[in-house]
């Protein structure tokens, strides 16, 4: 059996079938998580006016008035390869320039002093837009961290057709730099709008990898992709009948609920919960009777693995051993 091996395109067998990419010495060659826009825990459509907003998991839109939404590819389309399911659509209704979509890669040490390549597909369904790609080395907070280092990768003009854009960059060394003490340094990879045009921009298959060549986009199974996203953000799935379930038991400070996250999060997360209004309002639901109460919370201690809910003994008449539920969000985003 004959085959052709190409370091960029992968393996082509004699029947014409292909392996997307040749074997790599790296696991997860794409340093960006959810670059295929498959995971949308927060929802699938977002509107914003002035503040930065997380949208598809791990991606954040910086300011600008507009929206960001999940869009489905037509089955069998060939402009973006390998049959991706979704792309992200950024609609800009007010633009004063330099608004950005970005993702923060945990730990500024990543790729420091190495050559790396950013690639993505993009288009503007009508009109034209110029965008600039850049990386930002952020050394964190706490103590006396070094100043942020910004490196531009170059600008491109978007047209109405899907095009693949690639940028190769020598990521600056961090020799002599100082990290903050809060364990939140990161490498920020983003694309900025460099003009003041409004309208719509579409993005797909965003990848940032080691080396000076853009290799085929790396497919990651959904369950693995979701788990990687949940290191930074977790939301009780809407498909769960009772959100996350807690058992009540007696503690020295009052009653205590314990709920475990599906994966270990990056750091102790900030948590919100609610039943009557999902994810907010501090309401909980008793599973066997349907009773709903609003909690007077003393504290919400968290670890990267779990959240506890503590309130003053005697504040609520809850029976030890009963099961209660609520809808939870937990964030340890950078």
Is residue 160 packed enough to be buried (19+ CB in 10 Å), middle (13-18) or exposed (0-12)? Answer: exposed
Alpha-carbon span 102 to 121, nearest angstrom: 15
pLDDT at 10 (0 to 100)? 58
**Residue extents of the structural domains in the chain:** 31-230, 234-331
Which range, of 32-41, 248-257, 307-316, averages the lowest pLDDT? 248-257
What's this model's pTM, rounded to 2 decimal places?
A: 0.90
CA angle 150, 156, 161 (to 5 degrees): 140
**Mean pLDDT in residue range 183-196:** 94
d(CA 26, CA 237): 31
H and E: helices and strands count for the chain? 1, 24
Average pLDDT for 68-91: 97
DSSP 110-129: TTTTSEEEEEEEEE-SSS-E
- Least confidently predicted of 10-19, 109-118, 123-132: 10-19
By CB atoms closer than 10 A (0-12, 13-18, 19+), residue 25 is exposed
CB 65 within 8 A of CB 94: yes
Residue 261 makes CB contacts below 8 A (sequence gap 6+) with: 230, 234, 269, 304, 305, 306, 307, 330
Q: How far apart are CA 327 and CA 334, in angstroms?
A: 23
- Topology of domain 31-230, CATH: Jelly Rolls (2.60.120)
- Quick check: 135 and 169 in contact, CB under 8 A? yes
Strand 163-170 relative to strand 100-106: parallel, antiparallel, unpaired?
unpaired
Residue 215 has pLDDT above 60, yes or no: yes
């Amino acid at each position: 059996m004959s085959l052709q091996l190409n370091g960029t395109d992968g393996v082509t067998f004699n029947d014409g079938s292909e392996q997307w990419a040749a074997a790599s010495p790296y696991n997860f060659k794409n340093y960006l998580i959810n670059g295929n826009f498959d995971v949308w825990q927060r929802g699938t459509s977002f509107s914003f006016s002035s503040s930065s907003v997380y949208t598809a998991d791990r991606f954040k839109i910086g300011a600008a008035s507009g929206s960001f939404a999940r869009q489905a590819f037509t089955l069998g389309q060939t402009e973006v390869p390998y049959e991706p399911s979704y792309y992200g659509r950024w609609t800009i209704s007010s633009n004063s320039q330099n608004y950005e979509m970005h993702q923060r890669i945990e730990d500024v040490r990543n790729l420091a002093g190495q050559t790396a390549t950013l690639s993505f597909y993009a288009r503007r369904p009508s009109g034209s837009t110029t965008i600039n790609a850049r990386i930002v080395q952020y050394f964190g907070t706490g103590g006396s961290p070094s100043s942020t280092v910004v490196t531009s990768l170059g600008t491109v003009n978007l047209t109405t057709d899907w095009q693949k854009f690639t940028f190769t960059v020598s990521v600056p060394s961090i020799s002599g730099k100082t990290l903050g003490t809060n364990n939140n340094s990161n490498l920020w990879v983003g694309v900025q709008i460099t003009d003041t045009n409004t309208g719509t921009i579409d993005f797909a298959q965003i990848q940032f990898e080691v080396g000076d060549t853009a290799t085929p986009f790396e497919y990651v199974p959904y369950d693995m992709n979701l788990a990687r996203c949940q290191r930074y953000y977790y939301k009780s799935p809407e498909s769960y009948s009772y959100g996350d379930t807690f058992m009540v038991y007696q503690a020295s400070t009052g009653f205590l609920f314990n709920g475990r996250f599906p994966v270990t999060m990056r750091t102790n997360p900030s948590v919100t919960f609610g039943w009557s209004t999902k994810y907010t309002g501090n309401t909980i639901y008793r599973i066997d009777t349907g009773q709903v109460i609003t909690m007077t919370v003393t504290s919400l201690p968290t670890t990267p693995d779990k959240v506890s809910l503590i309130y003053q003994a005697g504040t609520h008449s809850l029976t030890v051993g009963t099961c209660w539920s609520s809808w939870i969000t937990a964030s340890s985003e950078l």
